[in-house]
Structure 1
Amino acid sequence: MSGVQTRTVKDDEAGMRLDRWFKAHFPSVRHGELEKFLRKGQVRVSGGRAKSNRRLEPGDEIRIPPLDSSRAAKKQRQFSVEDQQEIRKLILYEDESLIALNKPFGLAVQGGEKTRRHIDGMLASVTKDGERPRLVHRLDKDTGGLMLVAKTRPAAQRLSDMFKGRDIEKTYWALVNGMPRPREGTIDLPIAKRMVRIGDGEQERVVPADGETAKKAVSHYQIIEEAGVVSFLAMQPVTGRTHQLRVHAAAMGCPVVGDGKYGSAQSRIEGVSQKLHLFCRSMSFPHPKSGRRMTLQAPLTGHMRETWSFFAFNGEATCEWPEELK
């Protein structure tokens, strides 16, 4: 049958499940389509039938059936050229192990029911030698800035472990309404997801909480500059909870500008964009392969760059965290 191809499992893919291997190499093929290929014997491992949970070994040869007629393959062809050009524009740094992107505000990291265009899908267009770049952490859709992507499976595992183990120091820039006092400090405030009443209904929110379901959340902050009623803050999340910085800023009485979800009317400032003013500025971490400590940073983009110009804030400002806060 024309279009059939064979891929050989690499050493660093030892122990990987077949379905996860397939997703890494052919991300546009849905799990249901893979199961159908397996039932019909169109996908085989080393000449034999296999199940999706089969653990692979180095040297296994995987038969891939023609994918040109599948709906998923057609979708991949539609976005690959455009998205390859777009993702390349976002790259700040790249080597054999990782890619650093400057994620635009408003672009989702992963897809959903109503999200067709996202970073994860765009990464499929820069697959090289059968190796698809992998997500290792997330940024909220409305947050912009520095984002790391692994190019190999070992790098993905190492970076994921570093994010979980807090070996990566992240600094965010935020514009907040108000002037936190003291000017530099630590917010140690547990948070949890709760259903809260919003208008006539209920919605899920991350809120300060206590009890068994509350998760420890710690953030450092310092004022870099002030202008009228607003402050340019550097914030460092020690823990990596969902919406942590936004909730902590609001808990100080200084919500992030544009954060209608947690700051309500206080998050609106006349004269600047009403979009969320939160940006991942830099990360410092050991390189996943060499172990050498490296620091990467992203230049401000979009509405935050315009706001920084409006207030004449220093877009090249540096932030030194005191040793006792590290």
Structure 2
Amino acid sequence: MRTVLARKMGGCRILGRVSGSWRRRPEIHAARKAAGFGSEARHQLHPRGSSKRSRPLENQRFPGLLQPENLSREQLIDALRACVLDQRGPLVTLNKPQGLPVTGKPGELTLLSVLPELSQSLGLGERELQVVRASGKETSGLVLLSSCPETASRLQKFFTYSQRAQRPIATYWAVTDGIPAPSEGKIQAALKLEHIEGVDLVVPVKSPSRKDILEGVKRTLSYYRVVATGSGCALVQLQPLTAFPSQLQVHMVLQLCPVLGDHKYSARVSTVLGQRFLLPAESTKPQRQVLDEALIRRLHLTPSQAAQLPLHLHLHCLHLPGARPRDTPSELLAPLPPYFSRTLQYLGLHQQ
């Protein structure tokens, strides 16, 4: 059990611990140790205090994958209760499963849509939770919620200040199809969001003009570091310094190493005679990721199962401000989903 917060923030007392029950798998210990994973969360698909598993949540091929379309509202709330890493003071930390959207259209089942019931379920009464920080629908990992508006405001200001100062506050882990070269560096790209044939897609912009910036083009920046390699794939640490939809997925495509399970942008990377190159983003339609047959076998999947492979992108760590401006930031940590850990095992990722 690790204490991560012990202070007053915005007038609300916070005493936080990240805790849980873990078990180790020796096959992937080397890769996970190199990546900073000291332990793996048990696969919990039932609310705390319950001994029964929720059948609609189970996925034998990809354990730990959430399928909201198969859930009732009550089942989603139970699933979110099972995902609580910590609840202390006004802060609630979740380890969000892949596949759960944070926002959506009216009537859709999303994290925001069930926050009132989740607040009641966690004993917060009238103090309704709000989202402070969250990973996207296809990304698993940390979600930070707060029932105290002052605390939420202070945290948001800290995140904004850190971003402007180019200080990483979020660390993601990804498995990529291909090994980035060099093994560490930064990725800079101007990106814009375009509506192409009924789909919102992020498109790179070369040499953006001042007019482009005013019209929604954003200069983005991410740091990356290859942590482990195996079977032509890599375990990569990613730290975005800017915030833009699908930024990390697009950045890895620009490195010619799409994230495993990226069925939206990976088609932009093509191969001829063993050499990878980028196709024009504006004319490349999203499609199911095409993986090498040997890689599919290594993952113990059939081609049809590989077409359903979840995105292997996980928000593992968030930094939170200390009690005083000069204090070292605290950390929140979220263990990997079971399917992600199993992929590491199957690919034989080892420390470099």
- Scaled to the shorter chain, the TM-score interval is 0.5 to 0.7
Aligned-pair CA distance for 1:129: 3.4
CA distance in 2, matches of 1:244, 1:98: 27
Structure 2 unaligned residues grouped into runs of 5+:
1-10, 12-71, 270-288, 300-305
CA distance in 1, matches of 2:344, 2:248: 20
CA distance in 1, matches of 2:125, 2:84: 19
CA distance in 1, matches of 2:101, 2:324: 28
Aligned-pair CA distance for 1:115: 2.4
Amino acid at match of 1:132: E
CA distance in 1, matches of 2:228, 2:265: 23
Q: Which of 261, 276, 285 in structure 1 is aligned with 2:320?
A: 285
Q: Is the 8 A contact 2:155 2:320 kept in 1?
A: no
Q: Is the 8 A contact 2:228 2:236 kept in 1?
A: yes
Farther off after superposition, 207-216 or 106-115: 106-115
Partner of 1:177 in structure 2? Answer: 177
Q: Is the 8 A contact 1:282 1:296 kept in 2?
A: yes
- The SS at the match of 2:179 is coil
What pairs up with 1:9-158 in 2 under 5 angstroms?
79=73, 82-113=75-106, 115-116=108-109, 118-125=110-117, 126-127=119-120, 128-158=124-154
CA distance in 2, matches of 1:153, 1:239: 24
Amino acid at match of 1:170: A
Partner of 2:221 in structure 1? Answer: 218
Q: Which of 287, 307, 310 in structure 2 is aligned with 1:275?
A: 310
Aligned-pair CA distance for 1:152: 0.8
CA distance in 2, matches of 1:236, 1:141: 18
Q: Is the 8 A contact 2:231 2:348 kept in 1?
A: no
Aligned-pair CA distance for 1:158: 1.4
Structure 1 unaligned residues grouped into runs of 5+:
1-11, 13-77, 318-326
Q: Is the 8 A contact 1:227 1:311 kept in 2?
A: yes
1:187 aligns with 2:214: no
CA distance in 2, matches of 1:289, 1:175: 36
1:307 aligns with 2:343: yes
CA distance in 1, matches of 2:176, 2:184: 14
Q: Is the 8 A contact 2:221 2:240 kept in 1?
A: yes
CA distance in 2, matches of 1:97, 1:141: 24
Structure 1 residues 132, 163: CA separation in 2 closer, same or farther (over 3 Å shift)? Answer: same
Runs ≥4 in structure 1, deviation > 6 angstroms? 288-292
CA distance in 1, matches of 2:343, 2:321: 33
Give the alignment's TM-score, normalised by structure 2. 0.60
Q: Comparing both structures, which one devotes a greater share of its residues to strand? A: 2
Deviations 1:254-313 (Å, cap 9, x if unpaired)? 111111211128544314452211111111121589977211111111421221221244
Structure 1 residues 227, 94: CA separation in 2 closer, same or farther (over 3 Å shift)? Answer: same
Amino acid at match of 1:261: K
Q: Which has the larger radius of gyration?
A: 1
Partner of 1:208 in structure 2? Answer: 204
Structure 1 residues 79, 195: CA separation in 2 closer, same or farther (over 3 Å shift)? Answer: closer
Q: Is the 8 A contact 1:100 1:146 kept in 2?
A: yes
Give the alignment's TM-score, normalised by structure 1. 0.65
Aligned length: 234
Amino acid at match of 1:176: T
Note the aligned Cα RMSD (angstroms).
Answer: 2.7
CA distance in 1, matches of 2:114, 2:338: 20
- The SS at the match of 1:190 is strand
CA distance in 1, matches of 2:349, 2:332: 21
CA distance in 2, matches of 1:216, 1:288: 32
- The SS at the match of 2:150 is helix
Aligned-pair CA distance for 1:186: 0.3
Q: Is the 8 A contact 1:175 1:256 kept in 2?
A: yes
- The SS at the match of 2:318 is strand
- The SS at the match of 1:140 is coil
Amino acid at match of 2:254: A
Farther off after superposition, 233-242 or 300-309: 300-309
